[in-house]
Amino acid sequence: MLTRCPFMGGFKSIVVPLIGCAPYICGMERKILAVLFLLAIAGYGFFFFVIKGRTAEKESTPDTPMQLTDSTDAFSAALTVSLQAYYKLTGPLAKDDSSQVAASAEAFEKAVLELPVKQMKADSNLIKLATTLQQNMLKAAANMRSSPTMTEQRKQLQVVSDLLFDLLRTTQYKGATVYQQFCPMAFDNAGANWLSDGPAISNPYMGQSMPACGSVIDSISIKP
């Protein structure tokens, strides 16, 4: 098939095969192809470095963590009171003295109830978490107060211990060092944690049968 090459300019046309027109491309077509080629490169570069870059940055940006600007003095003081009341729970259990546990649990429950969680200078997510921990501790303390046996009291101590440690860590407690200790033999070798104001072991789960069983596994010591 024969046709006229439209790129050979002016009124003079050369009849060439359609498939053979490429060797006779005029200067204008070369310029157009060059411009299109440069535009394609520029478009790819814009997509790769700008669009892809923004997408990668968005994907790599972590979620904003819960922020605690500072605990109020009232909350820190109340948390220290709750912690001291907690230590009076572990002492009787370490001595196998269940008669003192109910009164100590009641004092701890009162101290936790008075925690001014909503006065903390923190974002809403952290306050919500701290409120949940507080409410769960109140339930566990009430259960401990009404528990008929030492075994049940110790089970509630395990719940209280884990919740209180989470609250101390969440609110960045800046009081005296708190030691988290662990007994691997508690509750038929299931294991359980408790808190102490020192590294020495006085096991509230095993009592006088194995008072030194356990070890320090963590601590909270945040300096103001």
Model confidence pLDDT, tens digit, residues 84-117 = 999 999 999 999 998 899 999 999 999 999 999 9
What integer pLDDT is reported at residue 43 of this predicted model? 63
Both 43 and 81 in a single domain?
Answer: no
Most confident of 37-41, 125-129, 195-199: 195-199
pLDDT confidence tier of residue 71, bands split at 50, 70 and 90: low
Both 24 and 101 in a single domain?
Answer: no
What integer pLDDT is reported at residue 144 of this predicted model? 95
Whole-number Å distance between alpha carbons of 82 and 113: 9
pLDDT confidence tier of residue 17, bands split at 50, 70 and 90: very low
Domain of residue 21 covers 2-56
Looking at every residue in the chain, the average pLDDT score rounds to 80
Q: Per-residue pLDDT for 223 more than 90?
A: no
pLDDT confidence tier of residue 35, bands split at 50, 70 and 90: low
- Asked whether residue 161 is domain-assigned, the answer is yes
pTM: 0.69
Q: Per-residue pLDDT for 14 more than 90?
A: no
Both 47 and 78 in a single domain?
Answer: no
Q: Per-residue pLDDT for 29 more than 70?
A: no
29 exposed, middle or buried (CB, 10 Å; 0-12, 13-18, 19+)?
middle
Whole-number Å distance between alpha carbons of 130 and 167: 6
Both 36 and 85 in a single domain?
Answer: no
| Token pair recorded at residue 190 | 């299931």
pLDDT confidence tier of residue 6, bands split at 50, 70 and 90: very low
The helix (H) or strand (E) run that includes residue 89 is helix 73-94
Domain count, the chain: 2
Both 165 and 198 in a single domain?
Answer: yes
Both 115 and 214 in a single domain?
Answer: yes
- Asked whether residue 65 is domain-assigned, the answer is no
What integer pLDDT is reported at residue 160 of this predicted model? 97
- Asked whether residue 61 is domain-assigned, the answer is no
Question: pLDDT (tens digit, 9 = 90+) per residue, 165-177?
Answer: 999 999 889 899 9
Both 75 and 124 in a single domain?
Answer: yes
Whole-number Å distance between alpha carbons of 49 and 54: 8
Both 46 and 92 in a single domain?
Answer: no
pLDDT confidence tier of residue 9, bands split at 50, 70 and 90: very low
